[in-house]
Every structure is written in C-alpha cells, then in structure tokens.
Amino acid sequence: MTTLRLGDTAPDFTQDSTEGTIRFHEWAGTSWVVLFSHPADFTPVCTTELGRTAALGGEFAKRGVKPIAVSVDPVDSHHSWVKDINETQSTTVNFPILADADKKVATLYDMIHPNSLANATVRSVFIIDPKKTLRATFTYPASTGRNFDEILRVIDSLQLTDSHKVATPANWKDGDDVVILPSLQDPAELAQRFPKGFKAVKPYLRLTPQPNK
C-alpha cells in the first residue's frame, strides 16, 4: 500500500453515501474538503463529532469547505444513526457519510491501523484543497474525540499562507500576527505587501499584522 503524503493528489473513488453515490473528485468540485473517518456508527464519541461538524456548518461554508465522513458501516445504519445525532446533538447533519462497507476508501486512505483497531477505521482527518492536493492530516485514537477548532485553525492557516508570503507561528489563531517568510528580503516588496510594517525580533523572525485573506 502506498502511504499518502502531504502534496500527493487525494485518491478519487466512487462510493455509496447517505446522499447517494459520491464520485469524490466530482463531488468536491472547486471546494476545500475535510474527509474524516470514524470507527463505528452509534458510538458516543463519534456521535458528538458528527454533531459538532454539523453545528459548524456555517464555519465550514464561509471557508469554502465541504465536510464528508466515512466509516465501514452500511448506508442503512448511517441513516438510522443520523436521526440519533440530530436528536442528541440538537443539530441537523447536512453533509454526506460514506458507507464504506467494502473498505475501498479506508484502504485508499490507509484509515485502518491493525495494531489499533483491526476492522474499523481510526479517527483520521484529511484536508484537501481545490486542486485535490492533500494539505494536512491528523490521526487520533478511537478513545479521543477530535478538536474541530484545530481543524478550522489549520484551514485558516493554509488559506492565508497560500495567498501571502507568510507563515503562522505556534498557537496562531485567525487575526493574530504572522511571520514573514525569510526568503522575502526586497525592501520595496516588503513595504508593498506589509504596509502596516513589521517587527524584526531576529533577522529571520519578523512579525507583522495578519494581511487580509
């Protein structure tokens, strides 16, 4: 099995889901995508995670992101579970859940870690950009629910740094100061890109107010 690495093209697939057949690249279109797996339907941690994803629907939408979940349970189980999620999490699941009973997607994305869970997917997250490039990944054990604020933070960083010659420092949040790339040295370009100026902590460490996205 080929290991997926950052910068790789996210594998395409066709799979059944709660919203019908998904042809992944076609479904993604020109959006960013958060593809995330869960070990099983009707499990407590997964229920809170999918409920949280639904509650954050507006946050994903304003960033141009489509979430899509996956597990190895069949689609009938997913439909029944969605009713539980909506009821217990006071939300409405508004994104597809892939029914990966044949483990096609789990295999393509290496979501099954036999030394952790032999026959179910671990909590994997794949952030994929509009060019279908894999930009970030997270892997959590079954016992640990994901931090969706961190997922949104990473998306904010990726989208900002794609459009400006900056990087985001430790614990950065949207609106905080950012780091100017060390490769940017031309004074005229610095003045043009960062009209609010910058603070040189060290020659290689220059902080500036976050540019507009």
**What is the side-by-side order of every strand in the sheet holding 65-71?**
97-99, 65-71, 32-37, 123-128, 134-140
pLDDT digits 0-9 by tens, 64-78: 999 999 998 999 999
Catalytic residues: 46
Q: What was the pLDDT predicted at 2?
A: 63
pLDDT digits 0-9 by tens, 145-176: 999 999 999 999 999 999 999 999 999 999 99
Q: What was the pLDDT predicted at 119?
A: 62
Positive or negative torsion for Cα 177, 182, 188, 193 = negative
* Beta-carbon count within 10 A of 57 CB: 16
Which of helix, strand or coil describes residue 23?
strand
Positive or negative torsion for Cα 160, 92, 27, 18 = positive
Q: What was the pLDDT predicted at 203?
A: 87
Residue spans of the chain under pLDDT 50: none
CA–CA separation, 42 and 64 (whole Å) = 29
Q: What was the pLDDT predicted at 112?
A: 80
Q: What was the pLDDT predicted at 49?
A: 96
CA–CA separation, 186 and 145 (whole Å) = 45
Query: What tokens does 40 get?
Result: 């099983």
Q: What was the pLDDT predicted at 161?
A: 97
Q: Locate all alpha helices (DSSP H) within 38-141, ordered by sequence.
A: 44-55, 57-62, 75-89, 104-108
